[in-house]
Amino acid sequence: MAVLSIVRRLAGAGMLLAVLCSCDPYIENLFKNADSVSQRASSITDFTADFGSAYSVLLVSDVHFESGYERPEKLFSYLAGLPSAPAACFVLGDLTRDTLRTEFESYLQFCDDLKQAGIGTVYAVPGNHDCDDGGGLYLSMVYPYKSCYRINTPGLSYYFLDSAEGSHGDEQISNLKAAMGRDAKKKIVLSHYPLYSSAFSDKLLKSTERAVLITLFAKSNVLRYICGHTHKQETQDFGSFTQTVLGDLHWSGQWAVLSVDEAAGTCTCVQY
């Protein structure tokens, strides 16, 4: 029996090692930059925008630009065929592959191309591939030069959150609770990591954090939580709000369009 117990322990250790290796980029980032999210997202910065009463927003995630910019022609062909351009674009993390300046420069070229296609402003949040340096390059190169902020429109509040280390961190969540507690408007929350995913490394790993956020969103008039990271299009119903997980633009060539009616206080999301 003692031998069997040892074998079982070794097998369990082997399984744990395999799990850790399977999500190596996450684990490396988690331990290397564990405190970075608190430094980057120590407060929620407010911006104002007026996209109109009824409008659409282009949503992309996991664009993973490398040093040589490759324009995603399928997306731009789609945009060229629209009767009117989306009011804005929200990029939900993993702008780069290795947090290199040349990769961020490719992302900025992408933003310029979106503006040439008629999109007014491109907003972003960081992903786990964007902050290997703690977020210095991201904050200095990516508009609006914040990793945690809120866009206030006449009828909605958009909360952009930093989950680049796989967690939003206690300070950011504390600030979020306070901000949402004072905000009576309906809300849309955007971040990189899903609240829930079937894969071990593809969701916020702290179960307590997930529970806190789900409870907070349920009582704070949140319409939708939009994220990426898994490279797989998914939708989960949390009762009072919906989670939309975007596919990746880089390899799968996927994106989504959020249609918003601020007067009615509604939104729909279609994935492509």
Write out the DSSP string of 90-155. Answer: EEES--BSS--HHHHHHHHHHHHHHHHTT--EEEEE--TTS-TTSSHHHHHHSTTS-SSEEEE-SS
In angstroms, the CA 82 to CA 100 distance is 33
Tell me the CA end-to-end span of the chain in Å, nearest whole number. 55
Which backbone phi and psi does 59 adopt, to 5 degrees? Answer: -115, 125
Which backbone phi and psi does 91 adopt, to 5 degrees? Answer: -105, 120
User: Which stretch of DSSP H or E encloses residue 31?
Assistant: helix 24-32
Residue 35 has what pLDDT? 60
Bridge partners for 222 per DSSP: 187
CB count within 10 Å of CB 232 equals: 17
Residue 11 has what pLDDT? 38
Residue 198 has what pLDDT? 77
**What does the pLDDT profile of the chain (272 residues) look like in tens digits?**
333 333 333 334 333 333 333 334 444 444 444 568 989 999 999 999 999 999 999 999 999 999 999 999 999 999 999 999 999 999 999 999 999 999 999 999 999 999 999 999 999 999 999 999 999 999 999 999 999 999 999 999 999 999 999 999 999 999 999 999 999 999 999 999 999 987 766 889 799 999 999 999 999 999 999 999 999 999 999 999 999 999 999 999 999 999 999 999 999 999 99
In angstroms, the CA 35 to CA 44 distance is 17
Residue 16 has what pLDDT? 37
Residue 197 has what pLDDT? 87
